Amino acid sequence: MKTLSIMVSRYFTQVVILASCFLHLTAAGKVLADSEQTKSMDSFYNALSNRVEKGVRGPIGNWHYYVKDGFFRIDSRKENIEFEINGQILVDGGDIDADDELQNAFPDLNGSNILFRKLNVSLYGNFYDTVDFKVGIDFANVRDIQDIWIRYLKNPFLKKIKLGNMKEPFSLEYLTSISRVTFMERALPDEAFGAGRNIGIRYDSLNPDRRINWGTGFFFNTGSFSTVGEGASQISEANGFDLTARVFGLPVYEGDGRTLLHFGLGYSYGARNEEDLDSPMQFRTRPESRLTDDRLVDTGPIPGKGRDTANAELAMVYGPWSFQGQCYYISLDANAAGDPDFWGYYAFLSYFITGEHRNYNRSTGIFTGVTPQPVFHPTKGEWGAWQLALRHSYVDLNDGIIQGGKENNLTAGLNWIQNRNVRMMFNYIHAYVKDRASLPAANGRANIFQARFQLIW
């Protein structure tokens, strides 16, 4: 087994290479800072940005093609038909070093890996301010259709209802985009108990002027699919349904979100067919890393009639400081397994060294992207936003005859946000697994070093 020192040395070498490049850029920036070349580069960049934002008119139908707020847009001549195309490219790399106990249980866990975490392309459309829709496909996960929904905009009530495949309204961490969360991966209990995406109907109150908002929905337990044509068969083959709701409040909101206090509660009831052995209930999670497909804790399949899942949310922002935490509890109606209950939680603290703060969407009750002030501009000696973060997460999948294991993770993170489109992330994870009966992992530990390059367009 590789020693921790060897792994740290390898990771340190990679960081040194990145730091060297960074220092060279810094030196170059200082040399160019007062030069005519810098002024010329700035002028060229500004002219190019203005030209791209102005766009061009197409030869057919005089449609307008342009870039706005970092996204590619297409408008009809009368601007009554609009499309927006955006994407996410997330590339992960790193190394996992497990002790002998975990290595014996998971022979493929150790080692280095690099992969596309996400390769997503989304199309948003609006027709005559009457109907809008979204289609999102993740090509990094075998062409996984993630979002495909439509809504009617002319009625003030119906405009808050979406119909299609989408996230269920449950959990602050899960509803926040993976490209906007503070760490590279969501916390252990969120991965284990999250409701996920399903086909259904969802209502959101979407009122930014109210202190309390809510969302609810009815969903078939369909899971993901790879072609639009699979939707109907997914519904007919669904194992039960989910009724899910979330309510969140904002008792404190000051300084355009620079100071805020968020509370939230979520509940999901899932009805299942106990005799459907092809899609039983199962709860498991990776060690907050996609470098491996191994789930260090896993209940295994559990046939049952259903489950009740509850969730509590707390988040605070005080200038560059932020705290966020959630608790999860799930109770199963599964007589053969003794009606087990599982639970978990996470909590993290983050701080922007450069003074920015986390942005919050008052309508949806989630955190959004951060735009550095100023953005990355090395020729001016401006290096974007830097954020430090520390998280502890825990999940317990043991109850009665179900002994899926317990996992404690401690994660330290450093985020470098160059602008609203580009972010680099560095995470160190110490994972501690115990009491999993199905594999000999009584007291296994793993150290994970990982980094991500993220581009949003």
When pLDDT is cut at 50, 70 and 90, the band that residue 36 belongs to is: low
The listed range with the strongest mean pLDDT (19-33, 138-152, 338-352) is 338-352
The chain-wide mean pLDDT, for the chain, equals 86
Task: Tell me if 109 sits within 8 A of 292, measured CB to CB.
Answer: yes
How confident is the model at residue 168, as a pLDDT?
96
Whether residue 227 has pLDDT greater than 80: no
pLDDT of residue 5 exceeding 60: no
- To the nearest whole percent, how much of the chain has pLDDT over 90? 67
Query: 35 or 293, which is more confident?
Result: 293
Decide yes or no: CATH 2.40.160.10 for domain 85-117+160-456: yes
For residue 24, pLDDT over 90 is answered with no
Give Cα 56 to chain centroid, integer Å. Answer: 34
For the cut 80, the answer to whether the pLDDT of residue 268 exceeds it is yes
Closest by alpha carbon to 395, among 358, 432, 365, 364?
A: 432
| pLDDT level of residue 49 (50, 70, 90 thresholds) | low
Report pLDDT digits (tens) over 168-195.
999 999 999 999 999 999 999 999 998 8
Which residues does 39 contact at the CB level (< 8 Å), separation at least 6?
Answer: none
**Is the per-residue pLDDT at 228 higher than 60?**
no
Distance between CA atoms of residues 135 and 268, nearest Å: 25
Q: Do 402 and 341 form a contact (C-beta atoms < 8 A)?
A: no
Q: What is the pLDDT of residue 457?
A: 85
Q: How far apart are CA 115 and CA 412, in angstroms?
A: 21
Q: Which of 138-152, 176-190, 269-283 has the highest average model confidence (pLDDT)?
A: 176-190
Q: What ranges do the domains of the chain cover?
A: 85-117+160-456
**Which ranges in 133-197 belong to alpha helices (H)?**
172-175, 188-193
The pLDDT tens digits of the residues spanning 281-332 come to 999 999 999 999 999 999 999 999 999 999 999 999 999 999 999 999 999 9
Q: Which of 40-49, 80-89, 122-131, 333-342 is predicted with the least confidence, judged by mean pLDDT?
A: 40-49
CA dist 226 → 115, 146, 214, 413 (Å): 20, 9, 30, 33
Residue 72 φ/ψ, nearest 5 degrees: -80, 130
pLDDT value of position 8: 41
Give the pLDDT confidence of 93-112 residue by residue, as tens digits.
999 999 998 998 899 999 99
Average pLDDT of the segment spanning 394-421: 95
pTM for the model = 0.87
